[in-house]
Amino acid sequence: DIQMTQSPSSVSASVGDRVTITCRASQGISGWLAWYQQKPGKAPKLLIYAASSLQSGVPSRFSGRGSGTDFTLSISSLQPEDFATYYCQVANSFPITFGQGTRLEIK
Amino acid sequence: QVQLVQSGAEVKKPGASVKVSCKASGYTFTSYYIHWVRQAPGQGLEWMGIINPSGDTTTYAQKFQGRVTMTRDTSTSTVYMELSSLRSEDTAVYYCARDRISLTSRPNYFDYWGQGTLVTVSS
């Protein structure tokens, strides 16, 4: 199984800040990676697929980069609605695995 | 619009089975694979398996092999996930999620999700 390790596990930031979350795969996955946002009591929401493609309707302040084993999700200017938990997900092999999550909190 | 609507919360005793439904609408049901993902309280996301609503083929995570069964009913555009031999560790919210790309088993990105079904296992 491919293990996905996210860092940090939690981060505090202020509205307007730029934040970057990292996801590392235990083996190369090319660009087959997705990022999700989850708010309490809600289902996850797809933000980024294929490592860097923005899902329809997602604000352009979200961006993804990476290939192989190292990936990042960046939020360029944090908005109040961005405070949530973020997960990465490997997309090209079974079992599908997720990172453990990064909780983004208001400073 | 695409919607996945799941059945309501369940409370089960250890050793029992639970069957959760996921009714799809707003798209061609047989054109997109459906996955099941669960989330224990305060924990992360765990993939359980995938079903092809067209051919009724399935792939399950090894952890759930022998305990999980995913089926579909094309007449009602509904997918089902049944988990047997329940234990307390199965207490979780269970989600169905649709593949973003039609008629392909890889890669798998989940663009639409059900609202989740809380399954509580307690004696």
pLDDT tens digits, B107-122: 899 999 999 999 999 9
Average pLDDT taken over every residue of chain A: 97
User: In the numeric block, which tokens belong to residue A17?
Assistant: 């800040």
Mapping DSSP onto H, E and C, the string for chain A reads CCCEEEECCEEEECCCCCEEEEEEECCCCCCCEEEEEECCCCCCEEEEECCCEECCCCCCCEEEEEECCEEEEEECCCCHHHCCEEEEEECCCCCCCECCCEEEEEC
Residue B55 confidence (pLDDT): 83
Q: Look at A94 and B50 and tell me if their CB atoms are within 8 Å.
A: yes
CA distance A46 to chain B (A): 6
Residue B104 confidence (pLDDT): 80
pLDDT tens digits, B28-85: 999 999 999 999 999 999 999 999 999 879 999 999 999 999 999 999 999 999 999 9
Note whether A95 contacts B: Cβ–Cβ < 8 A.
yes
Name residues 73-112 of chain B within 8 A of A (Cβ): 95, 97, 100, 106-111
Find the Cα–Cα–Cα–Cα dihedral A44, A47, A48, A49, rounded to 10°: 50
Among the partner-chain residues A44, A50, A94, the one whose CB lies closest to the CB of B45 is A44
User: In the numeric block, which tokens belong to residue A48?
Assistant: 């980024």
Note whether A77 contacts B: Cβ–Cβ < 8 A.
no
User: In the numeric block, which tokens belong to residue B105?
Assistant: 């088993």
pLDDT tens digits, A21-60: 999 999 999 999 999 999 999 999 999 999 999 999 999 9
Report the C-alpha gap between B123 and B120 in whole angstroms.
10
Residues 6+ apart with CB under 8 A from A37: A44, A45, A47, A82, A84, A85, A86
